[in-house]
Homo-oligomer: A and B are copies of this chain.
Amino acid sequence: MVESLARDLVCIDCGAVSPLGYRLECDKCRGLLELRYDLDRLRAKGPALFAGPGLWRYAAVLPVGDAAHRVTLGEGGTPLLECPRLARQLGVRRLLLKYDGSNPTGTVKDRTSATAVGAALQFGYTATSVVSSGNAGSSIAAYSARAGLRSLIFAYERASAPKLLHMSATASDLIIYKGVYDDLITLWDRLVEERLFFDCGASRNPYKHEGKKTLAYEIAEQSGWAPPDVVVAPVAVGETFIATARGFRELRDAGLIARLPRMVAAQATRANAIARAFRDGTAITPIKIGYTVAEGLAAGSPGRKGDWVLRLLREHDGLAADAEDQEILDAQRLVARAEGIWAGPTGVATVAVLKRLLEGRQLDPAQTICAIISETGLKTEAALPSREGTAFDLDSLRRLVVERLSGRGRPG
């Protein structure tokens, strides 16, 4: 069994150190906490510390000590795909897509669900809860079921049909809430204090957060420990972005990679509080948002995690931008046709933003760029093509095929 190198918790604001335990913020200043590891040990042992497939390959740098608590549905180990055709269309030398739609419930959320539900077991909880636009809800419900825990899933009323079906099949308790994520999350975050259930939200819990750090470890290992120059990550509240940035920082601090990739925060224009603050050089002003096709990015009030994203962007030469819903839908189709990768709007917002940044010459097209695709397209609800079918005989079938192909199917 691989031991966890987790050592303590550090406040990102005042630097105060707390012992490991189920803590959501700093006792001294109420700042957010991050887990700290024995990186000397990581430096000494190197990749030999990593063993087995998927997310728990990186158990050494995750905060779940007992292997019996390492709940899994086979998350992580997702492909890092070279995309030469899409690269040409976007005008960039080399493009990699980290396709996290291959996770068990079809999204990057499974990484955090594994460590959240693992930590719930570790701290003796028997129920979990989350407020979700759909993806986190499906994922936490699935991992809770897998671990035999009760799950109270609060789901967005406009969540897509596949997400709703998924949640109703796997959650022990599914509750549909009125309005958007922002409308419920503040109340729910207050209720978390009462410890009726384990916090599986994105606002504070450092144990939940941690699973997504494996994105950085995988991208680095799949690149032979020479990660891409730029990594584009989606940002709603900031969980994926921060965790990925932290992962790269640990890898650099432990000497496993030579330098940090430049991180780009990708938002939907309809929920662009962080991109806007970055552009304007101001603090974040929460915005009142409505619907965006990138359902999973629909947060207008990203709270303290949003501030953390902004700080990481400013301290490390990052970049933030957003894309309109139509650009996101165009990117969805582009990625599907150019590379056969079917991702949801939430998942391809990174590509829409990347396209904008390349067109605006805000990124160097000679660099190697990696975009995180956070979601499969199978959770998309959209207008269907007509289901009216044609009945064929051999002649009409041949005619159709010949007409469509115009002789192009034959070997040359």
Give the B-binding residues of A (Cβ under 8 A). 53-54, 72-74, 77-79, 81, 85, 99, 101-106, 123-127, 129, 138, 141-148, 150, 152, 157-159, 161-162, 164-166, 168-170, 173-179, 183-184, 187-188, 190-191, 194-198, 332-333, 336-342, 376-382, 384-394, 397-398, 400-402, 404-405, 408-412
Contacts and interface: CB of A to CB of B under 8 A. Distances in A.
B392 A169 contact: no
A141 B341 CA distance: 10
23 contacts: A53-B79, A54-B79, A74-B102, A123-B411, A124-B411, A126-B412, A127-B408, A144-B340, A145-B337, A150-B405, A150-B409, A162-B378, A165-B380, A166-B378, A169-B332, A169-B337, A170-B340, A176-B390, A177-B392, A184-B392, A191-B398, A196-B410, A198-B409
A190 B187 CA distance: 64
Contact of A401 (B99, B152, B381, B409): B152
Residue of A146, A338, A377, A388 most packed against chain B (CB within 10 A): A377
A400 B175 contact: yes
Given A196-B402, A196-B405, 14 more contacts: A53-B79, A79-B104, A105-B342, A129-B401, A145-B340, A146-B339, A150-B405, A162-B378, A164-B385, A175-B390, A176-B389, A177-B391, A196-B410, A197-B405
A20 to B, nearest CB: 16
Given A127-B405, A142-B341, A150-B405, A187 B397 contact: yes
Interface centre among A74, A145, A188, A378 (most CB of B within 10 A): A378
A141 to B, nearest CB: 7
Contacts of A124: 411-412
Contacts of A173: 404
Count this chain's copies in the assembly.
2
Given A79-B104, A157-B389, A145 B404 contact: no
A235 to B, nearest CB: 24
Contacts of A412: 124, 126
Top 9 A-B residue pairs of the complex, sorted by shortest distance between their CB atoms: A74-B79, A127-B409, A124-B411, A146-B340, A145-B340, A157-B389, A178-B389, A142-B340, A378-B378
A290 to B, nearest CB: 15
A183 B148 CA distance: 45
Given A144-B340, A384-B165, A389-B179, A73 B54 contact: no
A174 to B, nearest CB: 7
A378 B340 CA distance: 18
A114 B357 CA distance: 33
